[in-house]
Amino acid sequence: MGSTMPDGCCTKEEQPVGHQSSTCSDEQKNNSCGLSRRLSGQACQSHLDAALQKYALYLQMGRCICRSVLAPLETCCSKDKRQQALQFIKLETDSVKQSASPVRNIQITFDKNNITPRSQLSSADQTHNDEARRTGQNSHLLGTSLADIEKGSNGNLRIAVSISGMTCTSCSKKGMNVLHRIPGVVNPNINFVAGTGEFELEHRLDPNEVISQFEHETGFKCLQIRRENQSIDLLISKSEAKRLEDRLITGVRSISMLDKATYSVEYDPRLIGARSLLALIPSASLAAPRNVSSLVTGKKSMYLTTLTTVSAAALTIPVVVLAWSNNSIPYKKRSIISLVLATCVQAIAVPEFYVGAMKSLIFSRIIEMDMLVVISITAAYVYSVVALALKHRGYALEQGELFETSTLLVTLVLMGRLVSTVARIKAFTAVSMKSLQAEVALLIDESGQYSQIDARLLEYGDTVIVRSYARIVTDGEVISGSSTVDESMITGEAIPISKSPGDMVIAGTINRSTPLSIRLTRLPGRNSITDIADLVESALDSKPPVQDLADKVASWFIPTVVGISLVVFAIWFAIAFKVQKQNAGGSVGLAITYSIAVLAVSCPCALGLAVPMVLIIAGGLAAKSGIVIKQASATERAYRTTDVIFDKTGTLTTGTLEVVEEAYYETSLQIAGVKSLICALLRGNTHPVSSAVVSHLQNHADGTVRLEGIQTIPGAGLKAAWNAHELKAGNPYWLGVDARPEISRLVERGMTVLGVLIDSELVAAYGFESTLRPEATAVVQDLHRRKVTCHIVSGDGLKVVEDVARTVGIKQHNIASRQTPSSKQEYVRRLIDQGKTVLFCGDGINDAVAVAQAHIGVQIGSTSEITRATADVVLTGGLEGIPALLDISKQAFRRIVFNIVWSGIYNSCAILLAAGAFVKARIPPAYAGLGELVSILPVILVTMTLISFRRKAL
């Protein structure tokens, strides 16, 4: 490459272009850089960062040259492939950063003569990153990694879209069939009620081309949902947008047009802030805030459906009046007016029904709900035209024109779909967590003055003021002021939480008593609110067994109805022709009215809405009570729970332990040396016992102690090597020292005990006391009233577990002590083998396998842990979430059962009435279009009552 790395730190001349000077001081040269390299044989961190920044681009250029040689017509550096090269380099550098230590982001800028790497991470951003790493908030800063969000199985790209135009569950099946047929698309999933879809895409495919093909073959409209970066909507001209795109500004990922004057700019907030971006375009201004993308597309669909319904109704009413009223208008004029108006209604029906039905038949090879409507209105319209033509020629059929039938069918079906769309949007909006996001913030500038700005313009490193009784704009750390914060809308905890400098606050919560100054750790749009909302929405992608059953029934529904209508047509034709002695034309006219009525009155929409609409409301309601349901199947199963198993530490007790006894035993090392070794071993372990010891010994930590091969033994402890000695720390049963008097004395006092060995010699012991969660006893009593059996399994000693069980009211024969993770799993399995429905609640540290084994796995944690939790349900508040989960599950299941039963009763009775099975009672074909409205209205009303459900306090 033409340069080498010197022994000392990088000089200014050797810094990569655009790289901020990071020259080491003399002390750093001697200590942190030169000494560490001489001892370890490795380069210092600053050298690694600089080398990566300086040479990463050349590696990419080398790849590009190789590709040019192999495929000269398709080079990655050619003008038309420039954007693909940028995306490729971004993915490659992201993977390097994930496998190495933190480095600055590299942005590639192209110009006519050269290509220069530039580090654009501002000093404020770097300060924030350092602070985030110090406070353990780096996961907040980065959110969920790009690899997690945008990569699926086998490294495929995960694409999420909001879909408009779906009118029933068969639409989602049509979309699934289309996606399954596109090569390179795997694991597709479409949710009809939420109006969203997800699929994984091989890297060789262009997402835009796949989405375009999907739109063409389904007739739906899609909008890609991007989650890895921030986006901001700007009012700019087309020319300004083009200039902004051509400038290749560092951190700007994409620019897409929303309408003629509005463009959405996607950017990486770690590289460029929103205010900095806006300042680059003097003529730009912020557009009005957009709602959730799925709500945006849903509302657009609602407006279009409303317009179409009103237009169809305006054309239908005159046709109905002319057909059913006694008027003096001559037949010829009346029939021509009806023909013209009915034809206009048919024209409205073409994009609404015909296009979708034909695309489903051609591309997806399925007969959907639209096809039933198409067959009905086409038969009525064509028959009416034929009858009209014959009558004008002097041949009158016994059954006259049915123009009022064809027009009413279209209008009433559209009205039913409009009601369904409005109900879905209302349900989604009512339980949306994203409505908690504050829209404005009070920003403090460098001089200490503050001004009100749009929350979308906040940047990393900003400090904001939150006034009394104002909503906290986003996640952050309190840097000044003391107050109480109402977190009930996130955690379900009714009692306000005290906050002081150093404490973290959550977006969407409400500051109560006094103003707080908060330094942002996450930005609006990518904070705790969106984490919870995204999980609630993604839970809808997992179908519980009852929804699979409903989908299977719905898949057979339409072919069955078509078959029934043909049978009805044949039976009534035979009756009219043979029994009633009508001519062939009259027999066809009579039979077709019954057949049309059967097709039009049947509706699978109630069955399609029965489950997903309930799950949406139940998931949103639970989230606002501090219960994040990550698997929809948990909603269905939870109400059947017969046994609840609690872990002890961090679950029934708080996650904080306090060292109340410590003892050090004779050894060749001094006590200070033993403490340093213990700190080095336990530092970085997240178990409450380890955290308590490290906090207790924080003043004795020695950063020079180096341990090798640190290994965690789940449910037991940790071990490592130090200067050819074996160091162990863990529970006394694993260490084999539980029989020693000094240990048994602590155990008999009901303490949690940690022992430390060096080469099998006991050198230290710690006794801990934990605080029982204040709600634990009330929760256990509430579960007992429900006839639910409660258990405790713990790795602690018998005495400790017995004391906790006695306090909360759990019977002694339902406890298990000294349990390893595998024995906890076996405990769960034994209950399942007995036919029990088991809910396991733990803190996710040593009980992951037991959580996975249970029917319902529940993890108790904070809002910062919900995206990493592997359980079916995460409680962001307290244990009160368990009875609340059972209540919500019970209420949801009752409504699901009602919806499914109602759908079956309605369709059975309606088809019989429409088919003329009851001689003196039937549904005329003109009114059969009301079927969709009649079938879905009870489902909607019963489901919406779940929004107002409020459970009683413990």
Q: Work out the angle at residue 209's Cα, subtended by the Cα atoms of residues 203 and 212, and round it to the nearest 5 degrees.
A: 140
Residue 790 and residue 783 in contact, taking contact as beta carbons nearer than 8 Å: yes
What does the alpha-carbon distance between residue 510 and residue 470 come to, in Å, rounded to a whole number?
6
Catalytic residue among 534, 643, 647, 887: 647
Q: Which of 885, 904, 905, 791 is nearest to 838 (CA)?
A: 791
DSSP 8-state code for residue 854? S
What does the alpha-carbon distance between residue 661 and residue 696 come to, in Å, rounded to a whole number?
11
Q: What distances in angstroms separate CA 760 from CA 515, 618, 699, 722, one per listed residue?
A: 55, 54, 26, 14
What does the alpha-carbon distance between residue 683 and residue 703 come to, in Å, rounded to a whole number?
11
Residue 807 and residue 781 in contact, taking contact as beta carbons nearer than 8 Å: no
Crossing angle of helices 369-392 and 403-430, in 10° steps, is 160
Gap between the terminal Cα atoms of the chain: 70
Residue 492 and residue 513 in contact, taking contact as beta carbons nearer than 8 Å: no
Residue located via tokens 């013209």 = 340
Q: Which of 161, 146, 6 is nearest to 87 (CA)?
A: 146
Total residues found in the chain within this entry: 954
Q: Which of 231, 185, 230 is nearest to 207 (CA)?
A: 185
Q: What distances in angstroms separate CA 836 from CA 635, 637, 642, 646, 791, one per listed residue?
A: 17, 12, 6, 15, 13
* Catalytic residue list contains 647: yes
Residue 104 and residue 119 in contact, taking contact as beta carbons nearer than 8 Å: yes
SS3 per-residue string spanning 176-232: HHHHHHCCCEEEEEEECCCCEEEEEECCCCCHHHHHHHHHHHHCCEEEEECCCCEEE
SS3 content of the chain, % helix, strand, coil (to 5): 50, 20, 30
> Other CB atoms closer than 10 Å to residue 904's CB: what's the count?
13
Across the strands, what pairs with 265?
Answer: 232, 255
Across the strands, what pairs with 99?
Answer: none
Q: Which ranges of 715-861 would DSSP assign to H, the alpha helix?
A: 732-735, 741-748, 776-785, 798-808, 821-833, 848-853
Sign of CA dihedral 518, 523, 524, 527: negative
Across the strands, what pairs with 54?
Answer: none
Q: Which of 799, 796, 779, 797 is nearest to 788 (CA)?
A: 779
Q: Determine whether 395 is exposed, middle or buried from the number of CB atoms within 10 Å of its CB (0-12, 13-18, 19+).
A: exposed
**Which amino acid, residue 409?**
L
Residue 528 and residue 507 in contact, taking contact as beta carbons nearer than 8 Å: yes
**Which amino acid, residue 541?**
D
Antiparallel, parallel or unpaired: β 463-466 and 497-499: unpaired
Q: Work out the angle at residue 98's Cα, subtended by the Cα atoms of residues 97 and 99, and round it to the nearest 5 degrees.
A: 95
Cβ contacts of 799 within 8 Å, gap of 6 or more: 747, 748, 749, 750
Enter the tokens of residue 759: 């080469």
Q: What distances in angstroms separate CA 741 from CA 737, 746, 760, one per listed residue?
A: 9, 9, 17
Enter the tokens of residue 366: 């399925």
Residue located via tokens 């107002």 = 948
- Please count the CA atoms within 13 angstroms of the CA of 456 that sit on its side-chain side: 19
Which sequence positions are flagged as catalytic? 647
